[in-house]
Amino acid sequence: MKHFYDVFSMRFYFTIFTVVEVVVAITIAWYVAKFLEIDLNDSLFFLFAIISIVIAASLAVLINSFFLKPIRKLSDSMKKVAGGDFSIRLKKHSKVKEIGALNRSFNTMVDELGETEVLQSDFVSNVSHEIKTPLNAIEGYATLLQDEDCTDEERARYTEKILFNTKRLSELVGNVLILSKIESDSIDINEETFRLDEQIRHSIMILEPKWVEKDIEFDIELDEIKYTSDRVLLMHVWNNIIGNAVKFSPDEGLITIRLTSDAETISFWVDDCGPGIGETAMKHIFDKFYQEDSSHKQNGNGLGLSLVKRIVDLLGGEVIAENLPEAGCRFKVVLKK
């Protein structure tokens, strides 16, 4: 049920205000005339009344110009934005300070909405492309498997490729779901107390097939640390950071992993001996779908580090990427106790 003040526009209220003001002005003029013993038929009274009416009308015009017109324009602009037009902008400055501030806030809102719309479009486009790539591969190898002349060795190789691309697709969908939940603030933090050092060791063992294939060695020092947080989300962090170190380290390389703590924070970092991160890539290292080295594109989808960044931010921590003086790079995660 609508309240009575939801029915009428601001213009209606200002009109009523103006009419009341005119009536009050004439009434005052009448009492002043009576007090000064001026004949109500005297032209002086009518002149005073006319002046009062002109002043009231002028005030109404000024109110309309200074307040109602900008508000109507703002209302029309908001309707256009609601319809998907993010190009609309209002004047940054106004004769009324508050109107100018309101217009600037509106422009800022439209800028943010426009950027969000672009990011969303890019995100959908990138996700569609990333999903299409492994699906095409799966379809292609499945078609080859249907060839009756296919040897057992070829069938095994095609099956392995199908499983590989299926895993890629599964990881992509999983990462997209977690990212979307984090960015929409719809993810629940399931806190429990567990050993961080044991979880990191478990992550290293999960990645064993990858680092064994490249004959990579590890230098690991992990302090025994009990921590209360979301175990599942943090596992994504370690898997992605350590997995990246394995991916970009050369064969027979060395990866250094440390876990330490002080009175207020817990620090985890991984050093690899890979090529390092370029200056341009460093600015976008945590952007979704960004991959500096296209030669590794078939091994990832560009969502890992973006997911790491958003999880760590969600848990109130910080993640830092930096190149090492000699070679390689370091990814460091700092969590608050």
Query: 81 and 130 share a domain?
Result: no
Task: State mean pLDDT over 137-143.
Answer: 86
Q: How many domains does the chain divide into? A: 3
What is the b/e burial string over 16-31, where b = at least 16 CB atoms within 10 angstroms of the residue's CB? eebeebbeebbeebee
pLDDT at 3: 44
pLDDT at 127: 62
Residues 38 and 32: their CA atoms lie apart, in Å, by 8
Is residue 4 predicted with pLDDT exceeding 60? no
Q: Positive or negative, the Cα torsion across 203, 204, 208, 210?
A: positive
Residue 92 domain-assigned? no
Is residue 283 predicted with pLDDT exceeding 80? no
Residue 91 domain-assigned? no
Strands (E), 190-294: 191-195, 217-222, 226-230, 254-261, 265-271
pLDDT at 277: 84
The CATH number given to whatever domain includes residue 139 is: 1.10.287.130
From the number of C-beta atoms within 10 Å of its C-beta (0-12, 13-18, 19+), residue 231 rates as middle
Range of the domain at 62: 4-85
Tracing tokens 């080859």 back to the chain, one arrives at 144
pLDDT at 107: 80
| pLDDT tier for residue 43 given thresholds of 50, 70 and 90 | low
pLDDT at 295: 40
Is residue 115 predicted with pLDDT exceeding 70? no
Query: 12 and 58 share a domain?
Result: yes
| pLDDT tier for residue 206 given thresholds of 50, 70 and 90 | confident
How does the average pLDDT of the chain come out, rounded? 78
Residues 50 and 283: their CA atoms lie apart, in Å, by 69
Q: What is the pLDDT of residues 252-267, one digit of tens each?
A: 999 999 999 998 999 9
- Give the residue with greater pLDDT, 314 vs 90: 314
* Residues 59, 18 contacting (CB under 8 angstroms): yes
Residue 104 domain-assigned? no
* Helix (H) and strand (E) counts in the chain: 10, 7
Q: Is 216 helix (H, G, I), strand (E, B) or coil?
A: coil
- Give the residue with greater pLDDT, 209 vs 221: 221
pLDDT at 77: 80
Which residues lie across from 230 on neighbouring strands? Answer: 191
| pLDDT tier for residue 18 given thresholds of 50, 70 and 90 | low
Last residue of a domain, one of 115, 149, 183: 183
Query: 332 and 195 share a domain?
Result: yes
Residues 166 and 162: their CA atoms lie apart, in Å, by 6
Query: 197 and 79 share a domain?
Result: no
Is residue 247 predicted with pLDDT exceeding 50? yes
